[in-house]
Structure 1
Amino acid sequence: MVLVWIDPAMAWNTSVYQYDLVVLPVDKVWTPELHVTNGITTTMKHSSKDLVLNSNGTLRHTVIINAEVNCEVNLFNYPFASDFCPVAIQTWSFDGCGTELLLDELRVVNGTQGDWQTESGVLVKQYNMMTDRNYILVGLRIKYLNPFITLLLPTFLIILADVTSFALPLGGGERNSFKVTLVLSFTMFLIILNDQLPGDSHCSPIIRTHFCVCLVFLMLSMLVSIVLTRLAKDGRLILCCWSKDKEPVPENTGNVEEKEDEEAKVDIGVIQPNASEESDRMLRKVVNIMEALDAKQLQMAESFPADCRGAATDR
């Protein structure tokens, strides 16, 4: 800050001392002190050890003020937030006695620091019904590139991967396992960012709502995929824990003749386009089946008692 003030006691007559400007040590001259009243910490130091004095008593000096100001910035649109931060500058005065500060010109120098960027600065005499001090309204805007890459871009990519996962087949469970992995990954992502996101219970940024909507979308997509897998497997939606009824198993599983008849029916019922080779194969199978039946009947006849055989012969 360049300070310009008038001290009539420091003026001289140029006819006596014919120099218009002189350089004086700053520690030998009174200099005004400036305070940032809404600052947490404020330090003011001289930029040089000398100052310039004019013959009419006008002094010019440059000081450096470092102030840490606590600003209430609206973070509802985070990471696209922007707001004004008031900086109150005041000099000592009491009942009209003291120093009156008049701010003349304001320039923004080196407006990029950290995640915030200084866009503008406006001089205001009155702010929030306070007229005893001068205000500088500093326009701040967050640099959205880093938050967009670290916060928004991963959510868009996860949602895109979830939508594309519908191209996976329903069978085998690959789609369901992939969707469960996406939900767990997104949940871990939110747990990590929970302490880093700005805002509190009174003012929560809209990005938290964005994360909530993305999580709900992932959960609904996972549930729809599970239901479609069930429909593709059984053809109907069963909301119970048991599966579809199976066909009953025949009781007489030990009957060799019925098994052979069924195998014969299955084998005989197959018709291939090559008639010559398939017909010979079918005839051989029929001959084998007939021979097996004859051998079975002969074995049953030999196992009967002699009286039973005689009775069967008489009949």
Structure 2
Amino acid sequence: MPAKKAADSGKAAVKKVAAKRAATKAPTDKAPTDKDAARKDAPGRGAAEKDAVSRSAAVGKPESRTALVRRARRINRELAEIYPYAHPELDFENPFQLVVATVLSAQTTDLRVNQTTPALFAKYPTPEDLAAAAPEEVEEILRPTGFFRAKTKSVMGLSKALVEEFGGEVPGRLEDLVKLPGVGRKTAFVVLGNAFGRPGITVDTHFQRLVRRWRWTEATEPDKIEAAVGALFPKSDWTMLSHHVIFHGRRICHARKPACGACPIAPLCPAYGEGETDPEKAKKLLKYEKGGFPGQRLNPPQSYLDAGGRPAPPLGAG
């Protein structure tokens, strides 16, 4: 059953953390030194300093560029094992639906967008249809997403631009996409990576939070974060890297209370200890399929369902 698989997935994550920590505490014949004692007593070190790849960052020593690249890529490899089913969490069937859904996702959840867009696309399936719609009718459909007047203006404006400038087709170039109303670099890279298979890094709030916690960059501006993180990975990794990081941010590494004790990459994280470190308490903080809850999509990929994930309920469902 999906719920059982989800629960097993959460337990497996906790066991993996425990196994990694146990491996770092192997007995030794060497007598403890004053330096060892100081490290043991130092607050907030946790599992992070136990791993050779992340030791420099964890104890506050400068991390070489080579060490940073190795640690970052190792984190991505670990996340790929944790979330082999990572995917864009907006429902879409074509590039037009994806660009509209991504614009609508501003200041709301993907779940709320996914619950709202079926009615929108049923009534206005093409850019031509949406461009010619009555604004008040579109506003009423988009009301649940918040900021519905501004969003109506954006999606109708981009639809009109698609019709007038691109023959009703979503362009597959960054420089064209960012000219559309309501479309910035983040939205453009979502569309390029997931509708056209062209690599891009999606710097949303989850991505920004996690890469700073992991000390991949100290930048705060999205374009600078994009450049800094992009330089750590081959271009071919960028799209899936974005999915891995965002999935982890939504499920385990939360903004207010990270589930550190249930995090399989804790040994690689310089910020280990900012959240709940007790494994059982941390397990209760897990969200979506890791905690046995429905995901964001009404129509998720089969790989997600096979892994124990559950589709979200439609708008208005109990």
Tell me the TM-score normalized by structure 1.
0.20
> Which has the larger helix fraction?
2
Tell me the TM-score normalized by structure 2.
0.20
Greater RCO structure (CA 8 Å; 6+ sep): 2
> Which has the larger strand fraction?
1
